[in-house]
A and B are shown apart, each in its own frame.
Chain A
Amino acid sequence: MEPLVIAIIIGYFALMVAIGWWAKRKTSSAKEFLVAGQTLGFLVMAIASFSSIQSGWGMVGSTGTTYDWGPQALIGSALFIPLGFAVAWFLLGTRLHRAARKHQIYSVPDLIKARYQSKSAHVTMSVAMLIGSISYMTAQVTATGVIISLLTGTSPATGAWIGSAIVAAYTVAGGMLAAVWTDLIQGLLMIVISVGLFFYAVNEAGGWRNMLDSIWQEDPTLLSADGSMPAVFIVGFAVMILFGAAGQPQLVTKFLMLKDEKELKWGAAVAGISYAVTTLFSLGVGLSMRAMTIQGRAEPLDNIDNTATVFLDAFTHPVVAGIALVGLLAAIMSSASSFITIGAASAVRDLTGSLGRVVRRELLWNRVASVGVVLAALLFALYLSQVIFLLGAIGWAAFGAAILGPLALGLFWRRATAVATTVTIVVSLLGNLVITVATSQGWLTLPDYFYLGGVVIAFSTVLFIALSYVTAKPADADKLAQLYEPDQSMAVAQPATAAVDR
């Protein structure tokens, strides 16, 4: 390995750990650990939002599917995310800020508790957060192992342990404060690398038009809407991504971290444009690899998840490849750090709180739980063989389906009920789980146009609205008013816990 590449890797890891150490000195309570002390400005919040959404699934998985399916892959997985950010800012921005000012809200289950004042809804959402966080972390750990093994020459399992140890080190130390500031660095790194490699990759394949012509002449369906995958499958994918964005906990919690309502204004624009720029990586590298395979300049790939790494290895200078791999690692680690703290919060604060237990020394136990989340994800990652893309899709769909209705619509709709919330969360999680297992085991065969994630989100939202409409009582409208009005507010967090935190 080039000495410069080794220096870059060490420098990157050292910077992340240094930020973690800096954040640790500023973290002395659960509020600072879980919502960065509510001190974020719009730029940090917006870049951290996009970089925690742009995960290993987005950068590595989408590059592979673009190689395999053509441009239609990104219509499903990426192009509508900027619109999804805007929808999320509209639905969550001002309402979450108002609610967070009235209550001690540090997590999605806290919000559910404050909104519905229901133990069953609170417990169910807490369990969903814990399971979902570990599932999402598993995908990030898997991707980390692949990238670090390529950077250092170790096995993917060893790479997974090394990467997990580093992301755990700075997240356990500095919590969400470390996560968002490392997200900022990681996000900026991803933007620079994506722009540079898009132009480099397209140029390597002969320029944009020549690249597309090569693919068109070989197989026009690769550039078509109804090509490698049926059009409705791609649209279902886009539905999941667009409308599921407002249900992603790593995005929802960012709104709870803002220091001031004025910081909302430019967030959607910055996050959306940043995400679109990093989509260029998958577009350029995925299509250029396909074109160069057709041109006979690259070998056909056995595993599409290797598209980005094979491109970097075969077509770029080792130093460029090293920097780019660090950029991919940044995409993965930025999502991982958010889910470590969200998973820890769900285990320590939400689940125990929903069961009526008060956790003393909450900060300490959040740190312990963070280690637990990483270890659980490592165990899953090393013993499951599903591809990164599939794991990521399950996490996104399950979160989107469970949170979009109960939270995003529930912040506005006085008829939204706790019963509907509980049922929707259970159906979303079990629906995803049962159908995914049934199809993977061959017990159920879905039509090739059927995209489960999109259908689950759409169906779950219909279910939530219908059940709420049927079960709503006048008291439910009062609960919505109590979420925002100071004189009717209730104690959401455990005051005793806050007092003994330090």
Chain B
Amino acid sequence: MKHDRTDALVLTIGGLFALLTIGMTFDIWQLAWLPIPILSVVMIALGCLDRYGRWGASLPPVLIFGVVLTSLFVWAGLVLFDSGRFGGLQSGVGVVYYVIWPFVTVFSGLLYAVVYARWLRHDVSR
């Protein structure tokens, strides 16, 4: 079988889970933390493929979501162990609570609604 887009995405997912496994097993927080947003977005990208393996109109909103989410994780990672405070919490915890949590709560579900309306509904209704 020739490799296709789905193969590439699934193997990327496997690689990112392998990094997570190493990070969680050997206490390397960067390897446990930073793959999370990338893995989430790669899985979302897999979910956007239609029956012919095309992304169609789904890619721009997913990429924007992915860039923002990854940037927020990098920001939280940069201040994860400092002694400053953000909104009463330690800085890293504050970024997660005041920025990442509201972002994923509002925009991840909204992203699905947008991608469904722009692209996925056409695949289901065929």
> Residues of A at under 8 Å CB distance from B?
71-72, 75, 79-80, 82-83, 85-87, 89-91, 93-94, 97-98, 208-209, 212-213, 216, 220, 223-227, 230-232, 235-236, 238-239, 242-243, 261-262, 264-273, 276, 408-409, 412-415, 447, 449-451, 454-455, 458-459, 461-462, 465-466, 469, 472, 474, 477, 484
Q: Could you name 30 residue pairs across A and B whose Cβ atoms are closer than 8 Å? A: A80-B36, A83-B104, A83-B108, A87-B43, A89-B109, A90-B48, A90-B112, A91-B47, A93-B47, A94-B123, A216-B85, A223-B90, A225-B80, A235-B33, A261-B121, A265-B116, A267-B112, A409-B46, A412-B46, A415-B7, A450-B27, A454-B24, A455-B25, A458-B24, A461-B14, A462-B21, A465-B10, A465-B11, A466-B14, A484-B51
In contact, A232 and B112 (Cβ under 8 angstroms): no
> Which 3 pairs from chain A and chain B are nearest by CB?
A90-B47, A269-B109, A212-B88
In contact, A239 and B20 (Cβ under 8 angstroms): yes
Residue B108 contacts which of A86, A212, A216, A447 (CB distance < 8 angstroms)? A86
User: Which residues on the B side are within 8 Å of A232 (C-beta)?
Assistant: 23-24, 27-29, 32
Q: Give the complex CA separation of A90 and B28 in angstroms.
A: 30
Least Cβ–Cβ distance between A272 and chain B, in angstroms? 4
Residue of B nearest to A221 (CB): B90
User: Which residues on the A side are within 8 Å of B92 (C-beta)?
Assistant: 224-225
Residue A273 contacts which of B24, B39, B106, B117 (CB distance < 8 angstroms)? B106
In contact, A462 and B44 (Cβ under 8 angstroms): no
In contact, B112 and A86 (Cβ under 8 angstroms): yes
- B33-88 residues with Cβ-Cβ distance < 8 A to A are 33, 36, 39-40, 43-44, 46-49, 51, 80-81, 83, 85, 88
Excluding A79-B96, A265-B113, A413-B6, 11 further A-B contacts by CB distance (< 8 Å) are: A71-B89, A71-B97, A82-B109, A83-B40, A224-B90, A231-B33, A239-B36, A267-B112, A268-B112, A269-B110, A461-B17
Q: Give the complex CA separation of A208 and B94 in angstroms.
A: 13
Residue of B nearest to A209 (CB): B88
Residues of B in contact (CB 8 Å), total 60
With contacts defined as CB atoms under 8 Å apart, how many contacts are there between chain A and chain B in the complex? 199
In contact, A465 and B13 (Cβ under 8 angstroms): yes
Residue of B nearest to A455 (CB): B24
Q: Give the complex CA separation of A450 and B20 in angstroms.
A: 12
Q: Give the complex CA separation of A344 and B49 in angstroms.
A: 34
In contact, A415 and B1 (Cβ under 8 angstroms): yes
Q: Give the complex CA separation of A231 and B23 in angstroms.
A: 11
Least Cβ–Cβ distance between A421 and chain B, in angstroms? 14
Q: A75-B93, A89-B112, A269-B112 are in contact. Are A458 and B17 (CB under 8 A)?
A: yes
Residue of A nearest to B123 (CB): A94
Q: A83-B40, A86-B109, A413-B6 are in contact. Are A265 and B121 (CB under 8 A)?
A: yes
Least Cβ–Cβ distance between B51 and chain A, in angstroms? 7
Q: A268-B113, A450-B24 are in contact. Are A91 and B6 (CB under 8 A)?
A: no
Q: Give the complex CA separation of A227 and B25 in angstroms.
A: 19
User: Which residues on the A side are within 8 Å of B93 (C-beta)?
Assistant: 71-72, 75, 223-225
In contact, B124 and A97 (Cβ under 8 angstroms): yes
In contact, B109 and A461 (Cβ under 8 angstroms): no
In contact, B25 and A450 (Cβ under 8 angstroms): yes
In contact, B88 and A243 (Cβ under 8 angstroms): no
Residue B29 contacts which of A80, A235, A270 (CB distance < 8 angstroms)? A235
Residue of A nearest to B88 (CB): A212
User: Which residues on the A side are within 8 Å of B96 (C-beta)?
Assistant: 75, 79, 225
In contact, B109 and A272 (Cβ under 8 angstroms): yes
Q: Give the complex CA separation of A71 and B106 in angstroms.
A: 20
Q: Give the complex CA separation of A209 and B123 in angstroms.
A: 49
In contact, B40 and A264 (Cβ under 8 angstroms): no
User: Which residues on the B side are within 8 Å of A208 (C-beta)?
Assistant: 88
Residue A264 contacts which of B11, B46, B105, B116 (CB distance < 8 angstroms)? B116
Least Cβ–Cβ distance between A212 and chain B, in angstroms? 3
Q: Give the complex CA separation of A272 and B105 in angstroms.
A: 6
Q: Give the complex CA separation of A309 and B121 in angstroms.
A: 45
User: Which residues on the B side are within 8 Å of A451 (C-beta)?
Assistant: 24
Residue of B nearest to A410 (CB): B10
Q: Give the complex CA separation of A189 and B24 in angstroms.
A: 37
Tell me which of B21, B48, B96 has the highest count of chain A C-beta atoms within 10 A of its own C-beta. B21
User: Which residues on the B side are within 8 Å of A209 (C-beta)?
Assistant: 88
Q: A220-B90, A265-B121 are in contact. Are A474 and B1 (CB under 8 A)?
A: yes
Q: Give the complex CA separation of A327 and B114 in angstroms.
A: 33
Residue A412 contacts which of B49, B106, B116 (CB distance < 8 angstroms)? B49
Residue of B nearest to A260 (CB): B124
Tell me which of A415, A451, A466 has the highest count of chain B C-beta atoms within 10 A of its own C-beta. A415
In contact, A94 and B124 (Cβ under 8 angstroms): yes
User: Which residues on the A side are within 8 Å of B28 (C-beta)?
Assistant: 232
Q: Give the complex CA separation of A208 and B51 in angstroms.
A: 49
